[in-house]
Amino acid sequence: MSLFIYFKKIFKLICSLWINLFNNLLLYPLLGLLQKEGIFDIYFFNHGYVEDEDENNNNKLSQPNSLTKFVQSVGNFPKGIEGDALHAHCLLYEITLAQCPLYESLKGLKLLEVGCGPGGGLNWIKVAHPEIGSLYGLDRHPPPSASLSLGINVISGVAEKLPFADCSFDIIINVESSHCYGEGEMKFFHEVSRVLKKGGYLCWTDIRTSKGLKLTLEYAENSKLKLISPLTKINKQILRGIKKTSSRYELLLERAPFWIRIFGNNFRKVFAPNREKLENGEHLYMLGCWQKS
């Protein structure tokens, strides 16, 4: 290995570590505080999802509605986000939840979102699926209660040690969060298996490298979670989603205080990342559902 390649790999590792530290120790807590104070209205920490015009999702919703039409029919929610950006954020949640075989019969079920971020996804699920029995969220930096709909219970905690009793939930949803867990990802899958009821489901979507995806599948299998169908690659839909959502983040940055704008490049790497690795397939954005055996 040449000295140049060696230092290049070291540099990439340092950059990756810096981004993770920045996100967990500064960015997410700071955004939570700014949201609480009404300075920065961010409700979602995902890139968004936009369907092809000819995607019908026939197996998920009865005709003539597609998931996109369903999301658009619910209306603009929450306040401060509207139009295409809102629809893209919410649609990623909807397509993830729709992987569950119980999607059309959610009445009375108990659902947990691990890594709920600012709470926009929970608010969406509450509005779009009022038939769900109870909604819970968990995040290292939970959103202020004022930003959540009534009936949503969010607590502070980590994915690697879920503060819930065994066999507590029918469904767990995890949207663009588990890539932040690092070495704790294996513990996350074990914890998911523990708190899911027998026959319960994990609805999951996130970004991975090919190597990282193999580890994810291994962790899930070792946790007695059975993949109910092959994972689906959704790079193209996510790239279309980024086009819809990144412009809003740029607008928020322009309006932000100076001491937020100085972290602009780090902010963009989280919310409007370099699309090249998604375009060339180096990064895989995957979607799927596991069932507890």
Six-digit token string for 137: 């969220």
Q: What tens digit of pLDDT does each residue of 236-256 get? A: 999 999 998 887 777 777 777
Residues 110 and 222 in one domain: yes
Residues 33 and 131 in one domain: no
Which residues are paired to 139 by β-bridges? Answer: 156
Predicted confidence band at 288 (pLDDT cuts at 50, 70, 90)?
Answer: very high
d(CA 118, CA 139): 9
Residues 97 and 144 in one domain: yes
Given a contact cutoff of 8 angstroms between Cβ atoms, the answer to whether 172 and 97 are in contact is: no
Residue type, 63: Q
| pLDDT score recorded for residue 63 | 34
Q: What is the mean pLDDT of residues 51-70?
A: 59
Residues 6 and 133 in one domain: no
Residues 28 and 163 in one domain: no
Residues 34 and 110 in one domain: no
Q: Is residue 260 part of a domain?
A: no
Q: Is residue 204 part of a domain?
A: yes
Predicted confidence band at 61 (pLDDT cuts at 50, 70, 90)?
Answer: very low
d(CA 132, CA 111): 8
Residues 108 and 190 in one domain: yes
For the chain, how many structural domains are there in total? 2
Q: Is residue 213 part of a domain?
A: yes
Q: What is the mean pLDDT of residues 10-37?
A: 59
Task: Print burial letters for 5-18: b (CB count within 10 Å at least 16), e (below 16).
Answer: eeeeeeeeeeeeee
Who wins on pLDDT, 145 or 157?
Answer: 157
Domain CATH code at residue 131 = 3.40.50.150
d(CA 240, CA 112): 28
Give residue 9's domain range: 1-39
Q: Is residue 100 part of a domain?
A: yes
Q: Is residue 51 part of a domain?
A: no
Q: What tens digit of pLDDT does each residue of 192-235 get? A: 999 999 999 999 999 999 999 999 999 999 999 999 999 999 99
d(CA 263, CA 149): 31
d(CA 196, CA 100): 14
Predicted confidence band at 166 (pLDDT cuts at 50, 70, 90)?
Answer: very high
Name the pTM for this structure. Answer: 0.84
The answer, yes or no, to whether residue 15 has pLDDT greater than 60, is no
Residues 7 and 99 in one domain: no
Given a contact cutoff of 8 angstroms between Cβ atoms, the answer to whether 278 and 285 are in contact is: yes
**152: helix, coil or strand?**
strand
**54: helix, coil or strand?**
coil
Residues 34 and 124 in one domain: no
Task: Kindly state the percentage of the chain with pLDDT values over 90.
Answer: 54
Residues 23 and 99 in one domain: no
Predicted confidence band at 77 (pLDDT cuts at 50, 70, 90)?
Answer: low
| pLDDT score recorded for residue 99 | 96
Phi, psi values for residue 159, rounded to 5°: -65, -25
